[in-house]
A and B are shown apart, each in its own frame.
Chain A
């Protein structure tokens, strides 16, 4: 077998891979020409929709670093979505991002499979949903990406401190004229890695809960007041998550489960709780969210203690973060301006704190359906855990929904 054959084989594989991508993009574009479509027979209805987003990214690296691989165009989303309703009480959804499936990435903020669930709404006591999808937890996580001015959520809410999606079952109930909603769920607790099939050796589950309250009406998960509501609207939320995963000696979490900050999965107990609030009025909107994570490793020599003794740390490690964001929708010129401050700490036993400031500007060509978004992020301070190797990031791109 000579070098030419090997080279041509490798080249052919790359061409084939790119051809598949090109074919899928052309397929998406052809469907894009049709737009959102619904098929129905009077009893069942199925809607086909999707979105495409691409951005250009640049970074100012830390002094002395030269790897510019993040200066690039990136196809962030090439999504298909099937949403269906069967009869009066059944709903289902499948949402897949082809760009991430082909890239083989499992970014929690932007995974390949985003939703695959069914829901029954025929019980008076509650609605029940089962499958894979977003956990009713953080306000920022539950806000759809396409309704945000930003390309990235706050760093500590992008799925590395706690999972955004998982496989499990959720019960939900609204009351007080839908102003209040309660969600409780049980999940595998491995987050996006649950899709690989098995649980970890502890066989434990994660228990989640969220309570929402809006005034004077329900407050939907939206960041921007593009309706310029004439009455002030408020929303608050409380959330909590708990899991106890004592791994048997010699076993490990599945590959990819722990994340870069090392706290997404804990061999021991993990309790996460948070509070969030939102406000909107006359085009102005603001959101605030704070979370705290309490970790209690079963192993007193766990690396999470970072050379501190477990006794000195009281057996616990804490992490958390808070974010405050404000935006204004300028109706006359279809433009949104926004600013965000976030601070987070991946481990209170480790010196340092992360602080970031982001600014975003969006121009709505056709509402949120077609929008140019630009985001600038500046890192103010860094904690030396999974520290970013850059100071400034510039990102501009286009999102389109069909």
Chain B
């Protein structure tokens, strides 16, 4: 009976992509309360970090706050920035808010209806290179909402994943998903909605993911108030040896 159990566990493990363990090259402490997501500015020189309790911060690459503003969101969980705007997603009340990068002025507010769990809703916002946005819900289940440039829903797809989603980002045309509960990042096949590679993180409560232009992976920890750096992620997602 015990042998059968081991065979079952072994076969189950074979069905999943293998897991690689990542080691950070450095980490920095953030003076930002409850940081819940991070993105890299289009120029690659600064970071935008959003806080659970309604703060938006622009920092340098060492986490030093350059400017900040209070945003009218109850539970901001996702952030994305392009050349002109910053987009924030709020989990509880299902809002997307668009702010001007130049002066943090509110440009647009969009309501995206979702009746799932109050604290299991939108955790991330990312923009596709083809245009349009994707939102991911946290769990129970994990839904990917596809929105056009006007934030109108164009599709909704359920992902079967081994854990929750706390952040998502596109990097060199690949979709990277971050799981808080598993403390893993997943290189994903967007078309087939499956995980291709899994990487284990030595981070507690990871809630934000981003890539610097040089390929350095950034992982933001909410509970630790820390930003972790993992060097040299190439386009295939393998850590250079």
CB distance from B208 to the nearest CB of A (A): 15
0/1 string, B170-182, CB within 8 A of A gives 1: 0000000000011
Shortest beta-carbon distance from A95 to chain B in Å: 14
**Of A43, A47, A49, A229, which is within 8 A of B183 by CB?**
A229
User: Which of A40, A83, A229 is close to B93, meaning CB atoms less than 8 Å apart?
Assistant: A40
Residue numbers in B under 8 Å from A229 (CB-CB): 183, 204
Tell me, yes or no, whether B12 is within 8 Å of chain A by CB.
yes
CA distance A35 to B204 in the complex (A): 29
Contact residues of B between 193 and 222, Cβ < 8 Å to A: 200-205, 221
Q: Which of A42, A88, A218 contacts B111 (CB 8 A)?
A: A42
B2 to chain A, nearest CB (A): 11
Q: Quote the shortest CB–CB distance from B162 to chain A (angstroms).
A: 10
The interface stretch among B55-63, B115-123, B128-136, B145-153 is B115-123
A88 touching B117 by the CB < 8 A rule? no
Which residues of the partner chain B approach A231 to less than 8 Å between Cβ atoms?
202, 204
**Contacts A49-B117, A88-B54: A332 and B9 contacting too (C-beta < 8 A)?**
yes
Chain B nearest CB: distance from A120 CB in Å? 14
B13 contacts chain A at the CB level, 8 A cutoff:
yes
Near B by CB (< 8 A), chain A positions 322-341 give: 332-333
Asked whether A230 is an interface residue with its Cβ less than 8 Å from the other chain, the reply is: yes
Question: Given A49-B117, A333-B9, are A227 and B181 also a contact pair (CB < 8 Å)?
Answer: yes
- For A49, list chain B residues within 8 Å (CB): 117
Other-chain residue from A47, A83, A88, A228 in contact with B74 (beta carbon distance below 8 A): A88
User: Does B204 lie within 8 Å of A216, measured CB to CB?
Assistant: yes
Interface size counted on chain A using CB atoms at 8 A: 31
B239 at the interface (CB under 8 A from A): no
When the two chains form their complex, are residues A47 and B12 in contact, meaning their CB atoms are under 8 A apart?
Answer: no
CB of B185 to closest CB in A, whole Å: 14
Contacts of B115 on A, CB cut-off 8 Å? 37-39
| Chain B hits for A45, CB < 8 A | 92-93, 118
Q: Which residues of B contact A85 (CB under 8 A)?
A: 74, 92, 118
Q: Is the CB of B116 within 8 A of A230?
A: no
**A38-B121, A40-B94, A45-B92 known; A227-B182 Cβ under 8 A:** yes
Q: Is A217 an interface residue (CB 8 A)?
A: yes
Residues of B within 8 A of A36 (CB): 116-118, 120, 140
Using known A-B contacts A42-B111, A45-B118, determine if residue A230 contacts B183 with beta carbons closer than 8 Å.
Answer: yes
CB-CB nearest in chain B for A177: B225
Interface of A, helix, strand, loop or mixed by DSSP = loop
> Are the CB atoms of B116 and A38 closer together than 8 Å?
yes
Interface residues of A in 296-336 (CB under 8 A from B): 332-333
* Chain B nearest CB, measured from A368 CB (Å): 11
| Across-interface contacts of A332 in B (CB, < 8 A) | 9, 12-13
Interface-centre pick from B181, B183, B223, B224 (highest chain A CB count, 10 A): B223
With a CB–CB cut-off of 8 A, which chain A residues contact B119? 47
* Residue of B whose beta carbon sits closest to that of A83: B118
CB distance from B178 to the nearest CB of A (A): 14
What residues of chain A lie closer than 8 Å to B223, measured between beta carbons? 178, 217-218
Q: B34 at interface (Cβ–Cβ under 8 A)?
A: yes
Q: Does A233 contact B (CB under 8 A)?
A: yes
Chain B residues near A39: list those with CB within 8 A.
115
Q: Are A178 and B182 in contact (CB under 8 A)?
A: no
CB contacts under 8 Å to B, within A27-61, are 35-40, 42-43, 45-47, 49
Residues of A within 8 A of B140 (CB): 35-36, 369
B5 within 8 A of A: yes
Cα(A83)–Cα(B13), bound, Å: 38
CA distance A42 to B33 in the complex (A): 24
**B200 surroundings in chain A (CB, below 8 A):** 230
The contact string, 1 if C-beta is below 8 Å from chain A, for chain B 7-22, is 0110011000000000
A45 to B5, CA, bound (A): 45
The answer to whether A38 and B117 have CB atoms under 8 Å apart is yes
A332 to B93 alpha-carbon distance, docked (Å) = 36
Roughly how many angstroms separate A40 CA and B205 CA in the complex, as a whole number?
Answer: 27
Taking CB as reference atom, which chain A residue is nearest B221?
A217
B interface footprint on A226-251 (CB within 8 Å = 1, 0 otherwise): 11111101000000000000000000
Chain B residues within 8 Å of A43, by CB = 93
A205-228, CB under 8 A of B: which get 1 and which 0? 000000000001110000000111
When chains A and B are docked, how far (Å) is the Cα of A40 from the Cα of B221? Answer: 29
B95 interface hit (Cβ, 8 Å): yes
Nearest chain A residue, comparing its CB with the CB of B205: A217
Query: Which of A39, A43, A229: most chain B CB closer than 10 A?
Result: A229
Query: By the criterion CB–CB under 8 Å, are A333 and B5 in contact?
Result: yes
Measured between beta carbons, the chain A residues less than 8 angstroms from B34 are 178
- Could you tell me the distance in whole angstroms from the C-beta of A374 to the nearest C-beta in chain B? 18
Give, as a whole number of angstroms, the nearest-CB distance from A119 to chain B: 14
Measured CB to CB, the closest approach of chain A to B98, in angstroms, equals 16
Residues of B near A228 (CB, < 8 A) are 183
B120 CB contacts on chain A under 8 angstroms: 36
Given A36-B120, A37-B115, list of 19 further CB < 8 A pairs?
A36-B116, A36-B117, A36-B140, A37-B116, A40-B94, A43-B93, A45-B92, A83-B118, A85-B74, A177-B33, A178-B223, A217-B205, A227-B182, A229-B183, A230-B202, A332-B9, A332-B13, A333-B5, A369-B140
25 pairs, CB–CB < 8 Å, chain A vs chain B: A36-B116, A36-B140, A37-B115, A38-B115, A38-B116, A38-B117, A38-B118, A38-B121, A42-B94, A45-B93, A45-B118, A46-B118, A49-B117, A88-B72, A217-B204, A217-B221, A217-B223, A217-B224, A226-B181, A227-B181, A227-B183, A230-B200, A332-B12, A333-B5, A333-B9
> Footprint of B on A, CB under 8 Å?
35-40, 42-43, 45-47, 49, 83, 85, 87-88, 177-178, 216-218, 226-231, 233, 332-333, 369
